């Protein structure tokens, strides 16, 4: 049996997004989180087929568009990467906002800025896409409630001894710390050093701490480590960060959900005020900007204005892959 899977290839700040447009159907259960669990437990061969070599690579990232069960959503999405399925992805939301309009997933409204509601595993995210002369441009989004989870948390590591870091949630949970505290320079240190250090920190956190989301058990786990330059990202001086997530996967963009988590930390430490814009750059020098728009009872909601300094999201041609359902190599590729 052969099965054709079609995708659209995009990237935001150099971080890839493979959007599955055809070929994976009849998996939706009526509940987005339940569908995510089914893919993870019963149909993970699709992710491995699309993310791994020879069709993908170690840092490939994907998005499967599914029906939404949220009454306000235009569509739903399930994110995937080299290890499994994430709960939120800012760079993907930016790309999906443009894709939804350009490829007719939603009807054009004729507005200069069109709002698109996307149901993610973490909740409803509102994307706002600039449209000029029928062409889509910059995208910003209002994320789910974000919060600082633990401040100045100590974890014990084999190589570095006790390490102090913060843990924050921006659609996913991150361990966040100043890279220089572990001898890492975000401009000159090797990516492999960052990956190996992040791996040790992730293992220590998972072994020593329990992470729980206040509303949804499926969201309660550590997704990645974010190394920062120690700055807060004032508008005229972007703060550099590198996110290592999943199985040593390195984000080429500033990490939308990570930026959200960093802003939540800024708020908890009284380093950012409501409406104050901050900027964050990645190892590709792509820049995202963001600001807190309001405070909830237990968390700030962050409205992120995410723009690349050099230009908008890039769309590559449509690709097509033929999957042999009986091929034993699917477990390896």
- What kind and span of H or E run contains 180? none
Q: Burial of 98 by CB count in 10 Å (0-12 exposed, 13-18 middle, 19+ buried)?
A: buried
In the chain, DSSP assigns E strands to 2-12, 15-22, 62-66, 75-80, 113-120, 123-132, 135-145, 147-157, 161-169, 173-178, 222-228, 239-245, 249-250, 278-281, 287-295, 300-304, 314-324
Q: Which of the residues 89, 120, 122, 243 is marked catalytic?
A: 89
β partners of residue 289 = 279
* 89 among known catalytic residues: yes
Q: How far is CA 277 from CA 114, 259, 262, 304, 307, in A?
A: 22, 12, 13, 9, 12
As annotated, the active-site residues are 89
């Amino acid at each position: 049996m052969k099965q054709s899977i079609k995708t659209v290839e995009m990237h935001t700040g150099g971080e890839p997004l493979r959007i599955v447009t055809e070929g994976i159907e009849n998996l939706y259960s009526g509940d987005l989180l339940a569908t995510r669990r089914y893919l993870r437990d019963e149909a993970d061969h699709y992710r491995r087929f699309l993310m791994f070599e020879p069709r993908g690579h170690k840092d490939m990232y994907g998005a499967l568009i599914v029906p939404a069960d949220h009454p306000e959503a235009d569509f739903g999405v399930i994110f995937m990467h080299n290890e499994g399925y994430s709960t939120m992805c800012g760079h993907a939301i930016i790309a999906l906002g443009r894709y939804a309009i350009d490829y007719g997933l939603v009807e054009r409204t004729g507005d200069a800025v069109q709002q698109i509601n996307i149901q993610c595993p973490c909740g409803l995210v509102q994307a706002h896409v600039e449209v000029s002369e029928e062409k889509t441009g910059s995208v910003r989004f209002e994320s789910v409630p974000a919060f600082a989870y633990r401040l100045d948390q100590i974890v014990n590591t084999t190589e570095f001894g006790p390490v102090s870091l913060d843990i924050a949630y921006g659609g996913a949970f991150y361990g966040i710390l100043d890279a220089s505290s572990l001898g890492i320079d975000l401009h000159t240190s090797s990516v492999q050093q960052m990956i190996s250090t992040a791996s040790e920190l992730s293992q220590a956190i998972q072994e020593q701490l329990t992470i729980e989301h206040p509303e949804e058990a499926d969201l309660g786990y550590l997704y990645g480590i974010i190394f920062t330059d120690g700055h807060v990202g004032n508008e005229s001086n972007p703060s550099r960060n590198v996110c290592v997530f999943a199985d040593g996967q390195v984000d080429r963009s500033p990490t939308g959900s990570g930026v959200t988590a960093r802003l939540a930390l800024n708020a908890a430490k009284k380093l950012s005020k409501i409406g104050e814009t901050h900027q964050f750059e990645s190892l590709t020098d792509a820049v995202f900007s963001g600001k807190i728009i309001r405070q909830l009872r237990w968390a700030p909601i962050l409205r992120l204005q995410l723009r690349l300094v050099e230009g908008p999201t890039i769309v590559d041609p449509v690709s097509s892959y033929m999957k042999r359902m009986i091929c034993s190599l699917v477990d390896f590729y």
